[in-house]
Amino acid sequence: MKTLIASLIAATAAVSTLQAHCGTCSVSEGADAHHGEAHASCYDGTLSSYFAIQKALAGDDLPAAKSAAAALQEGMSKSECATDGADCCAEVGGASDAIAQAADIAAARSAFLGFSKAMIAQMESHGSETAAYQMYCPMAFNNKGGAWLQDSSDLRNPYYGSMMLTCGMQKTAYGPAAEKHSHDGHEHHSH
């Protein structure tokens, strides 16, 4: 129980910091192309790892989620982020660390919620060349709700896994998915 509480506290601290800073990730106007490429590389790698973590949690696979989070950490340690994106990259590293060190799937899912909020903020402010779908489950976290991104419109809930795999709705689509799956203001519901 002490390990669970410690994991939840660490996850909460990491994601709170991530939420506070990651919305500011951007390449400032006038930044050179190298910095823009570095930011895009950091963001693309983060998004790919994020999707791997989302799929693992939806599949109730804590070892795979932890492995994807550890791979994200390793990739970020080798990646160069734009100067004004460095704080964000460091914070994403903190959230991935909380997932990689999670004592159980509940702690990993809690950390993933904050990671999701940060990635959704990034998607809202920077868009994406990668197809992404924002999903939402109103029942997650004791009916407080939780949003996440996934790379498929086939809803797979990372907060409940097999218990309620398809509980939720599609809120919006980004990148090429936004063009293909314009849902005319209608949300897709599944329970």
Residue 86 and residue 99: Cα distance in Å, rounded? 20
Euclidean distance between CA atoms 122 and 38, whole angstroms? 15
Please give the pLDDT value at position 82.
54
Give residue 126's pLDDT: 82
CA end-to-end span of the chain: 31
So what's the pLDDT on residue 24?
36
pLDDT tens digits for range 66-81: 999 999 888 777 766 6
Q: In this structure, are residues 42 and 33 in contact, taking their beta carbons and an 8 Å threshold?
A: no
Ranges under pLDDT 70 in the chain: 1-45, 79-91, 180-191
pTM: 0.73
Q: What is the largest CA-CA distance in the chain?
A: 51
Are 41 and 108 in contact by the 8 Å Cβ rule? The answer is: no
CB 102 within 8 Å of CB 113: no
- Please, which residues bridge with residue 132 across strands? 174
Q: Which helix (H) or strand (E) holds 27?
A: none
pLDDT at 64: 98
> Can you give the length of the chain in residues?
191
pLDDT value, residue 81: 60
What confidence score (pLDDT) does residue 16 get?
37
Distance CA 47, CA 42 (A): 9
Give the model's pLDDT for residue 174: 93
Tell me which residue range forms the domain holding 149: 2-22+29-190
Residues 117, 131 contacting (CB under 8 angstroms): no
- Count how many domains the chain has: 1
What contacts 140, CB < 8 A, 6 or more positions away? 113, 146, 157, 159, 160
Cα–Cα separations (whole angstroms), residue 55 to 24, 97, 109, 160, 190: 27, 18, 12, 12, 18
